[in-house]
Amino acid sequence: MLASYYPSADLRRQRVDAMFDDSAPHYDWITSVMSFGSGQWYRRQALQRSGLAEGMQVLDVGAGTGVVSLLAQELVGDSGLVVAHDPSAGMLGEATKRGVARAVQGLGERLCYPDNSFDRVTMGYALRHVADLRVLFKEYARVLKPGGKVLLLEITRPEHVAARGVLRIYLRGIVPLVTRLFRRSAPAQELMRYYWDTIEHCVPPATILEAMTAAGLEGSKRRVELGIFSEYSAAKPAPGH
């Protein structure tokens, strides 16, 4: 709960969706500037490390403007399938403009797909906006094929106080200011402040890994890049496990 943005849990989803809808036209520009253009490379490397290959069926939850979905489409090719799933109609509109072939509006905690449908479930920097991790991961486990894998990319608050302070100044101070100056969008500026606040108050990595295991996923682990980029992965048990 972040009371400065929404007064109650019941209004959380409505408020967050509104922020993303209003900021959708600016979001790709902001994140590209924020990551100094390195985000695409990192996401592609993470997908390849997860074993994503031609012909696979992929569900990208919290797809936003479709950055991960588009990279996945390239990797699975014409014989594969990628579904971009997100609660924000505005963000999915941007995703389809960019070339995402299939987009579905909805929450990750209530997926509309049959059991055992996907080889991979991905989520890029959206885990902080989920209210109940165990419900989410149970849905992931349900729609994954046996042996299928989950890949979650997230920004984690640095453990060192000094590093945390520097990142806070950058993400909560500089990035929102640059957003307002160059995009002239108050909603986008607010979303970028919210971006840091969700990082600062997100549950710790151990809790995320525990929730994955509790949902029936196995081999949960976390890979860390530059002390802040967390790459969580786990698999649905194959028959006989």
Label residue 219 by pLDDT band (50, 70, 90). Answer: very high
Helices (H), the chain: 9-34, 39-49, 67-76, 89-98, 133-143, 161-168, 175-183, 186-201, 205-214
Give the model's pLDDT for residue 138. 98
In one letter, which amino acid is 202?
Answer: C
CA 182, distance to chain mean position in Å, is 25
The structure tokens listed for 70 are 């588009």
**186-201 and 175-183 helices cross at what angle (nearest 10)?**
160
User: Which of 40, 56, 59, 29 shows the shortest CA–CA distance to 184?
Assistant: 29
Label residue 167 by pLDDT band (50, 70, 90). Answer: confident
CATH topology of domain 50-155+204-235: Rossmann fold (3.40.50)
Q: What is the mean pLDDT of residues 166-190?
A: 85
Backbone torsions φ then ψ of 25, nearest 5 degrees: -65, -20
Q: Is pLDDT of 2 > 80? A: no
The structure tokens listed for 121 are 């479930």
Domain extents for the chain?
Answer: 1-34+157-201, 50-155+204-235
Q: Is pLDDT of 38 > 70? A: no
Q: Is pLDDT of 36 > 70? A: no
Q: What is the mean pLDDT of residues 20-36?
A: 79
Q: Is pLDDT of 140 > 90? A: yes
Q: Is pLDDT of 37 > 70? A: no
The structure tokens listed for 111 are 């997926």
Label residue 177 by pLDDT band (50, 70, 90). Answer: confident
The structure tokens listed for 80 are 């594969």
pLDDT digits (tens, 9 = 90+) for 94-114: 999 999 999 999 999 999 999
Q: Is pLDDT of 241 > 70? A: no
Work out the mean pLDDT of the chain and round it to a whole number. Answer: 90
> pTM of the entire structure?
0.89
Listing from the earlier edge strand, what are the strands of the sheet with 144-155?
A: 103-105, 81-86, 57-61, 118-124, 144-155, 229-235, 218-225
The structure tokens listed for 140 are 């992931």
Q: What CA–CA distance (Å, rounded) separates 124 from 111?
A: 17
Cβ(118)–Cβ(148) below 8 Å: yes
Give the model's pLDDT for residue 221. 97
pLDDT digits (tens, 9 = 90+) for 126-137: 998 888 999 999
Residue 27 makes CB contacts below 8 A (sequence gap 6+) with 20, 64, 65, 91, 94, 188, 191
